[in-house]
């Protein structure tokens, strides 16, 4: 198996739902971290979901407050790793535009190709 570490970043410039990460085909992702920080000094709330390949939506966090105080640093959303399967999508939405940054860190695991 090949393991590749990736990170995906987004600046939430609107309050629309935004795709942060889609697990590539033939891959399992172990999402280790989702960090959210405020860059406005005003704070906001964030909603993060996981959409599976059947288009069912599962809430990771719903309208979680992200404080304006940059001195506290970014907020870690996950307390344990999250396993996502091929084709699943992590989406984020801010309650207010131009306030939040999100960084996702994951390890992508793909099957090793056997050549005979």
Strands laid side by side in the 18-22 sheet: 18-22, 89-94, 44-51, 57-66
Question: Residue 22: its pLDDT value, please?
Answer: 98
- pTM here is 0.92
Asked whether the beta carbons of 17 and 91 are under 8 A apart, the reply is: yes
For the chain (116 residues), the mean pLDDT of every run of 10, in chain order, is 93 97 97 95 94 98 89 90 98 96 97 76
CATH number for domain 2-110, candidates 3.40.50.300, 3.30.70.100, 1.10.10.10, 2.60.120.340: 2.60.120.340
- pLDDT value at residue 1: 67
**In angstroms, rounded to a whole number, what is the distance separating the alpha carbons of residues 65 and 47?**
9
Domain regions of the chain by residue span = 2-110
Per-residue pLDDT, 87: 98
What pLDDT does residue 111 have? 85
Look-up of token digits 């984020």: 92
Element (DSSP H or E) covering residue 47: strand 44-51
């Amino acid at each position: 198996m090949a393991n590749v570490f990736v990170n995906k970043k987004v600046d939430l410039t609107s309050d629309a739902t935004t795709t942060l990460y889609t697990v590539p085909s033939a891959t399992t992702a172990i999402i280790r971290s989702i960090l959210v920080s405020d860059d406005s000094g005003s704070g906001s709330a964030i909603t993060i979901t996981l959409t599976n390949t059947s288009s069912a939506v599962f809430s990771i966090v719903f309208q979680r407050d992200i404080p304006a105080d940059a001195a506290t640093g970014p907020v870690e959303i996950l307390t344990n790793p999250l396993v996502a399967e091929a084709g699943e999508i992590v989406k984020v939405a801010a309650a207010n535009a131009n306030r939040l940054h999100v960084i996702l860190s994951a390890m992508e695991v793909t099957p090793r190709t056997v050549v005979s």
